Amino acid sequence: MSTITDQLNLAQERTHTNCCPAELMEFVIKRGEGQLAANGCVVVNTGDRTGRSPKDKYLVDHPDSHDNIDWGKVNQPITEAQFDTALDIANKFINSQDDVFVFEGFTGAQIKRRLGVKVITTLAWHSLFAQTLFIKPGSASDAGDGSWKHDWTVINAGCHKLTKEEQEALGVTSETFIAQSLERKTVIILGTEYAGEMKKGLFYAMNYDMPEVGVFPMHCSANIAKDDPSNVALFFGLSGTGKTTLSADENRALIGDDEHGWGPDGVFNFEGGCYAKVIGLTREKEPQIWDAIRFGSVLENTVVDPKTRIPDYDDISITQNTRVTYPVDFIPGAQIPSVGGHPKNVVFLTADAFGVLPPISKLTPEQAMYYFINGYTSKLAGTEEGVTEPQPNFSPCFGGPFMPRRPAEYAQMLADRINKHNAHVWLLNTGWTGGPYGKGGQRFSLKYTRAMVTAILSGQLDNAPTVEHPVFGLHMPTSVPNVPNEVLDPRNTWADKDAYDTQATKLAKLFRENDAKYNLPANIASGGPKA
């Protein structure tokens, strides 16, 4: 059986290891991989894949891990032989290149729990992405002594699209193939230049490895009060629900925007950087993210004016999934190293395009388990072919594509920690009110959502009076500072109350259809809709 280094010729004269950002950006420009924007960041395109390729992601089915995996559409099995074939294809491609870029660093800001990673790429900007997003030894985010150990390897040969012969050898029909082995601690990327595959491959690794050492891995952002280190908050949510936006708060220190662990000592960031969406970005709405886009950051699939070199964040002609990567310490006052205590508040974010869910609800322990396992948000009309009205998007634990283990295992870890540390749990709808998306509904005001978050984190709502939603049983505060009372009950915002009731019943039924596949215990099922 091949090892990850058997076939790689990482000769010194062609291998560039842990280059500084300036060196990598020089390579990017010189090799024609991207351009320099007026704000100093490097702008790149990811080719025909502008997002993850979940249908092309596979996991080696090995006896040591087989019984721990939630096999299915997300965790698709391949054999050791298929993995070796992919490894051979990737290594041959990398060995054909004049330059190879290597990043050696860490995932995990807590020293006792972090994993050492080696990321091998053929594109300089991929290496800059890795250096920006992960933790570089000796950097501000590294709380250790600068030493490095090797646990996981990412071999990114994404510039090579599989030939028909290679597809036949692997038993697939796609030019893209992403393979991961938990036992050999290796990720192989073929046929896609989308850098997020590297990030999510290592998040997947942490999601498998961390429970073994008593850490609950989470797809969430986190921040901490600047004047109270005991006031830590978590924000769970799928893409587009506001994790990055709501955790970047000038009154609080950012721990991280996407991936964390909750262990015996508290919360810690898995990453050294942020990977934020920039569609519609403005300085007025998100000043911290706007200012973080500068020298050392990587802007993906964003149109730049050819004369002024100013990025146009409203232009979605390449993709709606425009993104930027920057180090955590680009956010003013960020928590460095990225660690905090046990959370006082846990916030679930959903963008409900049906216009049904309340903008804010306090959850019981049973509701917390229920909504975590279901992991709900919406797909919008027009985002995919054939989608003509809002559709539910249920992703277990608010991160199903990155969770190798069964949802109930992660949900139990959350419940244990919430109960032990008496954390309050909330559901925030950052989606629509007054009607569905595209049919009279309006997106909830970010100003009001921020006011709700402020009220939660300040403790103003801990014992606030609530009313129960008649369909979902959610406990809705009757008053929130700086938020009009009439928007707190979503039924009040609909002109046609009967239409609201019909829509609420419809969404409740969709929840129950989804939760049926989990065979939930009665106490957790009781946290769902009443209808």
Percent of the chain, pLDDT > 90? Answer: 85
Q: What's the predicted TM-score (pTM) here?
A: 0.92
Contact indicator for 300, 267 with CB cutoff of 8 Å: no
Question: Any idea what the Cα angle at residue 506 is, between residues 505 and 510, rounded to 5°?
Answer: 115
Query: What pLDDT digit, counting tens, does each position of 27-64 carry?
Result: 999 999 999 999 999 999 999 999 999 999 999 999 99
Selecting among 243, 252, 277, 475, the annotated active-site residue is: 243
d(CA 18, CA 528): 49
Selecting among 132, 192, 244, 325, the annotated active-site residue is: 244
Selecting among 61, 258, 352, 515, the annotated active-site residue is: 258
- Among candidates 117, 121, 139, which has minimal Cα distance to 44? 121
Structure-token pair, residue 84: 């070796």
| pLDDT band per the 50, 70, 90 thresholds, residue 390 | low
- Whether 258 sits among the annotated catalytic residues: the reply is yes
Selecting among 46, 49, 50, 52, the annotated active-site residue is: 52
d(CA 314, CA 280): 5
Which domains occur in the chain, in start order?
Answer: 12-214 (3.40.449.10), 344-525 (3.90.228.20)
- Among candidates 294, 327, 275, which has minimal Cα distance to 37? 294
- Say yes or no to pLDDT of 166 above 70: yes
Selecting among 113, 136, 200, 252, the annotated active-site residue is: 200
d(CA 360, CA 351): 12
What is the identity of the amino acid at 328?
A: V
- Among candidates 253, 248, 332, which has minimal Cα distance to 294? 332
Query: What pLDDT digit, counting tens, does each position of 331-371 carry?
Result: 989 999 999 999 999 999 999 999 999 999 999 999 999 99
- Say yes or no to pLDDT of 132 above 80: yes
Contact indicator for 132, 273 with CB cutoff of 8 Å: yes
- Whether 323 sits among the annotated catalytic residues: the reply is yes
- Whether 239 sits among the annotated catalytic residues: the reply is yes
What is the identity of the amino acid at 78?
A: I
Selecting among 114, 118, 219, 362, the annotated active-site residue is: 219
| pLDDT score of 143 | 77
> Other C-beta atoms within 10 Å of 526: how many?
15
- Whether 342 sits among the annotated catalytic residues: the reply is no
Dihedral, CA atoms, 364, 365, 371, 372, nearest 10 degrees? 150
Residue 147 carries which DSSP code? -
Better-predicted residue by pLDDT, 8 or 348? 348
| pLDDT score of 384 | 41
Query: What pLDDT digit, counting tens, does each position of 410-428 carry?
Result: 999 999 999 999 999 999 9
Of 254-263, 307-316, 384-393, 444-453, give the lowest mean pLDDT range.
384-393
Query: 223-245 burial, b if ≥16 CB within 10 A, otherwise e?
Result: bbbeeeeebbbbbbbbbbbbbbb
E strands in 100-193: 100-107, 115-121, 152-157, 177-181, 186-190
User: Three-class SS of residue 469?
Assistant: coil
Mean pLDDT across the chain, nearest whole number?
93
